[in-house]
């Protein structure tokens, strides 16, 4: 079952990273939804799935488009998912246990954003210098914030519409 969970979510991460692009009229650029699936995995499917599917899915997506970044994505997005899931999985007090949303999700998303932005800034600085790497920081930040917001909404919606998803947590 675990192989199937990781395989399918890896494919979903890769497809949504490559295919779904949200256009940004102001910059004529676009955001992808890779981070959204990573946060969904982190909040709904647990740390191991978030680590493996997040890292491998974005690396496969990079191999299709920007292969130079594939090793960076493998580690950075994997760690992003792992950190977000571990923090989001901190148990709540008894009174609040029944609520579907945990405030730790926000802390997890914050940690994930920090790891992703710092990881890419560091790796890109080594690859092509601090100046160009710094210009990508705001885009990574906004993409992560959008990814976290949509990922949280998506986790709540999927859990409500398909409760068995809880059984796939790993």
Q: Which residues bind another protein (CB under 8 A)?
A: 1, 3-12, 14-16, 18-20, 22-25, 33, 36-37, 40, 52, 56-57, 60, 63-68, 70, 126-132, 134-135, 146, 149-150, 153-154, 157-158, 161-162, 165, 168
Q: Nearest 5 degrees, angle CA 110-CA 114-CA 117? A: 135
Closest CA to 46 of 87, 75, 7, 16: 87
CB of 93 to another protein, least distance (A): 29
Question: Exposure string (b/e) for 61-74, b if CB count within 10 Å is 16 or more?
Answer: bbeeeeeebbebbb
Q: How far is the CB of 89 from another protein (least distance, A)?
A: 19
For tokens 């790891």, name the residue.
115
CB of 77 to another protein, least distance (A): 14
3-class secondary-structure state, position 58? helix
User: In angstroms, what CA-CA distances link 146 with 4, 54, 162?
Assistant: 28, 16, 23
Report the nearest approach of another protein to the CB of residue 94 (Å): 29
HEC per residue, 72-99: HHHHHHHHHHHHHHHHHCCCCCHHHCCC
CB closer to another protein, 48 vs 86: 48
CB closer to another protein out of 91 and 163? 163
Task: Please identify, using beta-carbon distances, which residue of 114 and 168 lies nearer to another protein.
Answer: 168
Question: Could you tell me where the beta strands, DSSP code E, fall in the chain?
Answer: 21-24, 29-32
Which CB sits closer to another protein, 68 or 94? 68
Please say which residue, 39 or 102, places its beta carbon nearer to another protein: 39
For residue 142, the minimal CB distance to another protein (Å) is: 9
């Amino acid at each position: 079952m675990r192989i199937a969970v990781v395989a399918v979510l890896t494919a979903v991460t890769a497809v949504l990273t490559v295919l779904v692009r949200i256009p940004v009229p102001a910059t004529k650029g676009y955001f992808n939804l890779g981070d959204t699936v990573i946060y969904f995995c982190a909040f709904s499917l647990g740390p191991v799935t978030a680590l493996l599917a997040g890292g491998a899915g974005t690396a496969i997506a990079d191999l299709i488009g920007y292969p130079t970044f594939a090793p960076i994505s493998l580690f950075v997005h994997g760690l992003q998912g792992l950190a977000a899931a571990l923090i989001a999985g901190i148990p709540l007090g008894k009174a609040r246990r029944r609520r579907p949303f945990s405030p730790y999700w926000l802390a997890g998303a914050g940690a994930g954003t920090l790891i992703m932005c710092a990881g890419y800034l560091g790796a890109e600085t080594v690859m092509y210098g601090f100046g160009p790497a710094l210009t990508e920081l705001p885009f990574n930040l906004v993409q992560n914030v959008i990814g976290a917001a949509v990922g949280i909404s998506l986790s709540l919606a999927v859990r409500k519409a398909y409760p068995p998803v809880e059984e796939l947590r790993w």
